[in-house]
Amino acid sequence: MPAINDTKIVLVHPLGYLPEAAGKDISRKANIMPPLGLASIAAFLEKHTFTADIIDCYARPDSVRVIRDYLLAEKPAFIGFSCTTSSFLDGVRLAAMAKDVLPAIKTVFGGPHVSALREKILADFPVVDFVVAGEGEQALLELLSCGGGSEALSIPGVLSRDRQGNISFPGYPEALVELDTLPFPAYEKLAGFPDAYKLPIFNYPSTPNTSCITSRGCPYSCSYCDRSVFRRSFRYNSAGYLYNHLSYLKDCFRIRHVNFYDDQFTFNRKRIDTFTRMLIDEPLGITFNCAVRAEHIDLDLLRQMKAAGCWMISLGIETGDENLLARHRQNADLELLSAKIRLIKKAGIRTKGLLMIGLPGETEASVKKSMDYVFSHPIDDFNLAKFTPFPGSPVYEKIHEYGVFDEDWEKMDCMHFQFVPNGMTKEQLEEYFLLFYKSHFHRSKVLLGYLTMLWQSPDSWIRFLRNAATFINFARSNKRLGA
């Protein structure tokens, strides 16, 4: 048996499906986001004398061979996987392959899917040696420090098996990590960064660009959101840390635009006020996008954000049916949301709406209300997700009461209707999904807006034209209402 390196771990972001299908994946063509969680963990472990490398199968679909070659050459003691629900089974396949190559290697799984299902993962998947439930930095450091031995049974946040095969989970850590104490993510560990990663088309003005996360958790409790990793905590980096992070991205990687991938970027108004003033007083030449809730923006703040380089703001609309919205989130006030959409436009910032179709309680009438709502507001772009009840979300526990749910993990990616609400059919949902997008792109204001992207986001048009055949084939492969 080959010797292994006790100070080394390789962190893997699974693709989620067979590599040969990557070229036809419309979501990959539109958006490849760096695995920032793995990059944060890698930076933290490297700070504490371990060597942590990253293999991102999503950005590099040929990575099965890369993983095998890495294991043979480097012989790490651990291989870690960060998985969503749709990528988990691919991670299991890669873990089995890793054990075939290096029988002594220990497999660790983290991410929202395993954090939600915890003991079930170890009970049903023998190839998984350890599960990290919740934040990964400190738990993984302690696991590597003990070599995965019997001491792992008492590490907070780590699920493992004792010698009799009994599953142990000592609970979560008492204290959560202070985000400003963490090093910046190890972007340099991501092969091809930043050019290998792409923000959604028409969602940025310039390249190179990247994503950035400045908070963990959320203060709200929507029915469809998975809370298993950060549970009910909500923390964020300080304005100074945030400014220094952007400065680092610019100096080391030439980044010109950043998408802040936070659920509630403006929740602490003072933080964003300070941060944007810093950008105005000492410009970095970086523009940015962010996501907000209507309750946490005002015109003065929006105008200051615009002056600091804010290019686009995303708002979670979810549905244009206020009664349906009230079933799934707090403060379901569509009139307030309407007013804030108009304030964003008044401040001169591009606006994007985030919606779902197929929520429990959805009807034909509610879908039409969503379409009417979006089309009656100055929304430049929108993303329509196919509702998926993920493990760890409140609605998951009783989802079978609300409709028919096919829990096929590999298809639970918000690109498939795995859940069909009572009173509707999958065919209806697919038809309305296509009609929603088709109607959006038939509006003259929208077409004019995308035309302006020729000079506002020229790289987006280059990518669109380069992949036009893929987009057209995707549209043709779906049933069209009235086509």
Domain boundaries, the chain: 5-168, 199-476
pLDDT score for 483: 29
pLDDT score for 482: 32
Strand 257-260 vs strand 350-357: parallel, antiparallel, or unpaired?
A: unpaired
Assess if CATH 3.20.20.70 describes domain 199-476. no
Give, in words, the CATH class of 5-168: alpha beta
Q: What is the largest CA-CA distance in the chain?
A: 67
pLDDT score for 210: 97
Q: In DSSP terms, which residues pair with 384 in a beta bridge?
A: 355
Q: Which two tokens stand for residue 156?
A: 């907070």
Q: Is 208:253 a contact under the CB 8 Å cutoff? A: yes
pLDDT score for 195: 94
* Residue-by-residue pLDDT tens, the chain, 483 positions: 557 788 999 999 999 887 777 667 777 777 899 999 999 999 999 999 999 999 999 988 888 899 999 999 999 999 999 999 999 999 999 999 999 999 999 999 999 999 999 999 999 999 999 999 989 999 999 999 999 999 999 999 999 999 999 999 999 988 888 999 999 999 999 999 999 999 999 999 999 999 999 999 888 878 888 777 676 778 999 999 999 999 999 999 999 999 999 989 999 999 999 999 999 999 999 999 999 999 999 999 999 999 999 999 999 999 999 999 999 988 789 999 999 999 999 999 999 999 999 999 999 999 999 999 999 999 999 999 999 999 999 999 999 999 999 999 999 999 999 999 999 999 999 999 999 998 888 888 888 888 888 889 999 989 888 876 665 565 555 543 332
Over the range 423-446, which residues count as b (16 or more CB within 10 Å of their CB) and which as e? ebeeebbbbbbbbbeeebeeeeeb
Amino acid at 91: G
Q: Whose CA is closest to 110, among 130, 86, 82?
A: 82
pLDDT score for 473: 61
pLDDT score for 378: 92
Q: CA–CA separation, 316 vs 27, rounded Å?
A: 20
Which residue's entry shows tokens 């709502």? 373
